[in-house]
Structure formats: structure tokens, C-alpha cells
Structure 1
């Protein structure tokens, strides 16, 4: 009898690629004519990206620039959760873009229910911020992966399939 195969459904991103995208956006900000003398900043920390600029129009321009760089680095825009643009001192504006990583518990429960309903021979199991999917046949696992790839737009996070054994 063949042993069970498995894989994990996770939502994470390559932090180095995101850092590269932010660096590229900063470099382009310094050379672009419409953004050169605006004293705008993009800061990346562990949980968020902060954009500071003289107006909300400049912030939206910088965010569009950042999103294009993120896409060029083959990262999903679903990892970015832009907050409201806030007015700060000196007539400047600020926007905090939260980074989404990990599957929220309610979404993980919804996904495991979907897997149980659609695929009878597969056993999903929530493990922290990931879902472990097990089955005896690898074809069943491939079916689950294919299902989530075709329905990727239904989920608010970027999904990856890792540890396929």
C-alpha cells in the first residue's frame, strides 16, 4: 500500500523580493521628474510599508509605482493592504500599507470546508497559519491544487502550495 502524500497551502511572500521592489521604487522616485523634488519617502519595516508625501495625489502615484515594481518582482498585489491616506503635520500626507502574510483562521476554516465538500478522498488539516492536505493518491492532491488555482480570485490572500510530498 502506498503511503499518504501531502502538501501545505500557505500565504507568504519572499521578503527579499519585496525589499528589492521597494528599493527600485525609491530609486525611480528620485529620478522621475514629477516626483523628484517632492521629499517623498517609502519605508519598509516588518509588518508594513509607509509612504510619506506632500499630498494624497503624490501618494497614489507612488503607490501605483510601488505596485508596478511589486508585480515586476512576481509578487502578488494581494500581499498589500493599503490603509487610508492620513494628513500629518506640515501639510503632508501618509499612507500605511499593511503586509498580509499567513492564512487567517476564518479563511482557513472556509477553505478546509471547501476541500472536504469538493474532494472526498482528501483530508485537510489546519496547522497554525497553513493548511496541510493529505491523500493516498497524488492525483487527488493535484486536483485540489488545480481547484484553488482556478478559484484564486475568490480568496483575499495570495496562495502558495509548498512541501509537496
Structure 2
């Protein structure tokens, strides 16, 4: 029976490259000279430390631009709240979303069921598997989900016929 999986994964090598490029750009930019600003990639998050709110926001803009150039959607970033750090600096942790959460999985299954297309969707850990008798039905579901804005980046993998 034909099937495909819906996943949400960020290429961590490309995220690492974007973080390194952002760090280099911040070190060279005139508006960051003489202030302490840091960006660091941790296991499943990015830690941003800006001298003030303006610099932190500028770092986020640069990071998003570098991610887009490397074909990584900014939707894979989950921004935490800004926290005060020592010396008037501002810190923010940005989680990197890997996998489809249970809530998003339920939302995807609901959308697929509402289409009345003859396919079944089931949640499997951090992904959603869609199966059906016709590949055309599966491709129709893919097109429909691409048009919906679910707040996360979706990839369609393991297409089997």
C-alpha cells in the first residue's frame, strides 16, 4: 500500500554553518564593535547573548537570513523569552525544533481526515505516516498540507508505492 511520512527536521550541519557565519558577521559589523555579543550552538538549541535588545534583535535577523540562504526554514526555530544577563546584556535561548510534536501531529491528522480523501494518517512518535490506495491521493494530501501554515516546516519523506 502506498505511503509517505511527514517529518519536521532541520539539517543540523546547515544550522551550525549559519551560526558560524552569523558569528563572523557580528564580529565584523560596525554597529557591534566594542560590545560583547555571542552566538553559540548547543546540542538542540542556539544561545544568543546581546549587549542590548537592539543588538539581540539584529543578531536574530542575521541568523534568520543565514538560515534561509542555507535552505533551512526559520520555522524550525522556537524562540524562548528574553532574559536579563549581567552588565545590562540580554540573553535568549532558541530551541531547534526536530520532529512533529503530538499536538501538531493531531492537527495534521485532523486536516487530512477533513479532506475526505481516501487516505489514513497516523502519528508515529515524531512523524505522521499517511497511507492510501492511490499515489494520486497521497500527492493531493501533500499539496494540501504544503498550502496550510502549521507553524512548522514540513518535509515529505519515504514515499513508497
Name the TM-score, length of structure 2 as normaliser.
0.94
Q: Does 1:160 align with 2:155?
A: yes
Q: Does 1:74 align with 2:71?
A: yes
Q: Does 1:124 align with 2:121?
A: yes
What is aligned with 2:3? 6
Q: How does 1:98-109 map to 2 (within 5 A)?
A: 98-109=95-106
Q: Does 1:47 align with 2:44?
A: yes
For structure 2, the 5+ residue unaligned runs are: none
Cα distance in structure 1, aligned partners of 2:134 and 2:55 = 53
What is aligned with 1:115? 112
For structure 1, the 5+ residue unaligned runs are: none
1:90 to partner: Cα distance: 2.1
Cα distance in structure 2, aligned partners of 1:27 and 1:95 = 19
Query: Do the aligned partners of 1:119 and 1:140 also contact (CA within 8 Å) in 2?
Result: no
Cα distance in structure 1, aligned partners of 2:64 and 2:73 = 9
**Equivalenced residues, count:** 160
SS at match of 2:23: helix
When the two chains are superposed, the root-mean-square deviation of aligned CA atoms in Å is 1.2
